[in-house]
Amino acid sequence: MNPCDILYSSIGIIHSEHSIAEKTPIQPVYAKGCKGYMEIFPEYAEGLKDLDGFSHIYLLYHFHQLPKAKLIVKPFLQDVERGVFATRAPCRPNALGLSVVELVGIDGNILYLNNVDILDGTPLLDIKPYTAKFDLHAVKRNGWQDEVDEHTAQKRGKRGYKRS
Amino acid sequence: MNPCDILYSSIGIIHSEHSIAEKTPIQPVYAKGCKGYMEIFPEYAEGLKDLDGFSHIYLLYHFHQLPKAKLIVKPFLQDVERGVFATRAPCRPNALGLSVVELVGIDGNILYLNNVDILDGTPLLDIKPYTAKFDLHAVKRNGWQDEVDEHTAQKRGKRGYKRS
């Protein structure tokens, strides 16, 4: 390992109805009603205490199909080339994914989820609560996303959309 | 490496006025006016294209002081033991940090930031835009945080607070 290397280990596996990357919704907001669940490895289950009080949680996970990293990409919502850090595309230098999903319930080390935009079998790295105190920010500018109307976003962001 | 291991590499370094972990604000919302900047390693700078259009960005980073992982912790806002995944405490199984900061400007591979709650010298793993389309969720329940009044949160969350 070189000095910049950082080693993590998955704490569980995310399961969903999405088995094909190109047909997976690009964000939870376009995955309404897509159910899923996570299995947390038993050695971490104690850390789930009190999590069931939160309606929404951040999932941090690893894009395990390892799309080749690119610095310039066309985001799913628009046919214009953008810097990868100005998008949520999976082909990033570090294949880290971030989604805010709805937490439906917890049974032991199994978490039931809604609005899941994540591929089946994805390794989970961390869970954090998404809260009104910490996570609602007064966005002033949305960059290129301000050019994308809601109709287009809904069409392109949903499951099953394939860029022609 | 075992099959659960995941290797990342930092893409830059975060600089801030916070040099002592115990005096660092716990979240950007308690770090208003705390300036900082990030140096992105030159080989990744092309990926910053178009990012300057966004007012807020997610930073994903590595808690490099590696607090010993615990599954049960007392969150900074409350003297009650909670599961670590129900908190944003740094002592997590994978030492992954997540903050939404204000992006003030970009000059080449330097990004100027506001509301920085991150220790000076922290290795950066990823940047993602925080947007109105993707990241504002209708939170219904905030778990134990609903028990913490705003006055207490402001006092405990800010820089300089030390638990007695």
Over range B44-52, report the average pLDDT. Answer: 98
Helices vs. strands in chain B: H and E counts, helices first:
2, 9
B138: how many CB neighbours lie within 10 A of its CB? 9
A154 three-state secondary structure: helix
Residue from the list A7, A29, A55 with its beta carbon closest to the beta carbon of B133: A29
Binary contact (A72, B46; C-beta < 8 A): yes
Decide if B38 contacts A145 (C-beta within 8 A): no
Complex-level ipTM: 0.93
Q: Which are the contacts of B20, defined by CB distance < 8 A and separation ≥ 6? A: none
Q: How far are the Cα atoms of A143, B38, B52, B106 from residue B49, in angstroms, in the given order?
A: 11, 15, 8, 10
Binary contact (B93, A126; C-beta < 8 A): yes
CA distance A164 to chain B (A): 23
A40: how many CB neighbours lie within 10 A of its CB? 22
- A154: region left, alpha or beta (phi > 0 left; psi from -120 to 50 alpha): alpha
pLDDT band of residue A162 (cuts 50, 70, 90) is: low
Residue of B nearest to A30 (CA): B134
B131 three-state secondary structure: coil
Write the pLDDT tens digit of every residue in A32-89: 889 999 999 999 999 999 999 999 999 999 999 978 999 999 998 899 999 999 999 9
Q: How far are the Cα atoms of A50, A58, B89 from residue A125, in angstroms, in the given order?
A: 19, 11, 15
> Residue B142: what residue type?
N
pLDDT over 60 at B163, yes or no: no
Question: Which residue of B5, B7, B8 to mutate against A (max A Cβ within 10 Å)?
Answer: B8
pLDDT at B157: 85
Binary contact (B6, A8; C-beta < 8 A): yes
Residue window 71-110, chain A: list those with CB within 8 Å of chain B: 71-72, 81-88, 92-94, 96, 98, 100
Report residue A57 as tokens: 């949680």
pLDDT band of residue A124 (cuts 50, 70, 90) is: very high
A137: how many CB neighbours lie within 10 A of its CB? 18
Decide if B61 contacts B124 (C-beta within 8 A): yes
pLDDT at A159: 59
Burial group, residue B74, by CB count within 10 angstroms (0-12, 13-18, 19+)? middle
Q: Which of B156, B97, B104, B112 is nearest to B16 (CA)?
A: B112
CA A121 to chain centre: 13
Rounded-to-integer distance, Cα B124 and Cα B129, Å: 15
Rounded-to-integer distance, Cα A44 and Cα B163, Å: 27
Q: Which secondary structure element, helix H or strand E, spans residue B154, and what is its range?
A: helix B150-157
Interchain CB contact of A10 with B (< 8 Å): yes
Decide if A105 contacts A112 (C-beta within 8 A): yes
pLDDT over 60 at A161, yes or no: no
Residue from the list A7, A85, A131 with its beta carbon closest to the beta carbon of B145: A131
| Complete DSSP assignment for B69-113 | P-SEE--TT-SS-EEGGGS--S--SS-EEEEEEEEEEEETTEEEE
Decide if B118 contacts B97 (C-beta within 8 A): yes
Q: Which of A88, A107, A123, A106 is nearest to A15 (CA)?
A: A123
